[in-house]
Amino acid sequence: MTRRLTAIWRHPIKSHGRESLGEVLCAAGETLPHDRRWAVMHEASRFDAEKPDWQPCSQFVIGAKSPRLQAMRARLDEEAGTLSLTHPDLATLTIDPDNPGDAARFIEWMRPLANPNRPAPTCLVSAGSRGMTDTDFASVSLINLASHRAVEEKLGRGISPLRWRGNFIFESHAPWEEMDWPGKRLSLGEIELEAIEPIQRCAATTASVHTGEVDADTLGTLNRSFGHQDCGLYARIIKGGRVRLGDMLEVL
């Protein structure tokens, strides 16, 4: 079966923006470079910025609790060390995320998007190359467009596959085939991956990536129509190399 990579996405700040890539150089045992490198602490977080370590998503401001964040976009200039962020309701902001003054400006900029009924955002922190993924291991995520279309069909309307916030989006003719891959090895361009587990979805996927408004019952549709709340697959990079748009994905 032919499976082709159609998009590469990374999310420099966890839940705060996304950017597309034409190619990426991956390293074994790591996330995509700069994917979830930063995250937004809230006032109830246990994250220790002086001794950064992986923490679950509950310790950060995320789209599941603040859906308006879903409409944010980002562009990281690796050479300049700057990150530009846009949102339909805000002016464009460009910062150096590792500069304390710029980080404070970012918090003030995004504050109107945060759910006022949840713990308030306090500061921008770095997880380094580990990446603050939703898994307790350095993961990348794969999204099957055939599975996405199966969800759209049951919803009765089109939605963006970017709601799933995946890293590698691939075209396939077999919906949900990725559910059978955990424990198997995959090849994608020059890299090899170990498929780990399906991705159980949260309320962030109910919000539009264009407006940030909650407008689709993705979770109810998954549960009622397919008997699970999963879409996509977590994997671990076990052999590094370059991945480009159009590369083939194969189950080894």
User: Residue 229 sits in which domain range?
Assistant: 4-29+136-251
Average pLDDT over residues 190-194: 98
Higher-scoring residue by pLDDT: 230, 58: 230
CATH number at residue 221: 2.40.33.20
Tell whether 141 and 217 lie within a shared domain: yes
Helix axes 145-155, 218-226, angle to 10 degrees: 100
pLDDT of residue 55 exceeding 90: no
Q: What is the mean pLDDT of the chain?
A: 96
Tell whether 118 and 202 lie within a shared domain: no
Tell whether 239 and 140 lie within a shared domain: yes
Q: How far is CA 56 from CA 109, 148, 158, 171, 232, in A?
A: 24, 26, 31, 30, 19
Kindly state the greatest CA–CA separation across the chain: 51
Tell whether 110 and 156 lie within a shared domain: no
What is the model's pTM?
A: 0.95
Distance of CA 70 to the CA centre of its chain: 10
Which amino acid belongs to residue 177?
A: E
Q: Which of 21-25, 82-86, 118-122, 124-128 shows the lowest mean pLDDT across its residues?
A: 124-128
Tell whether 125 and 148 lie within a shared domain: no
112, 130, 148 - which closes a domain? 130
Tell whether 113 and 53 lie within a shared domain: yes
Q: How far apart are CA 53 and CA 131, in angstroms?
A: 10
Q: How far is CA 95 from CA 18, 82, 124, in A?
A: 15, 5, 11
**pLDDT band at residue 30 under the 50/70/90 scheme:** very high
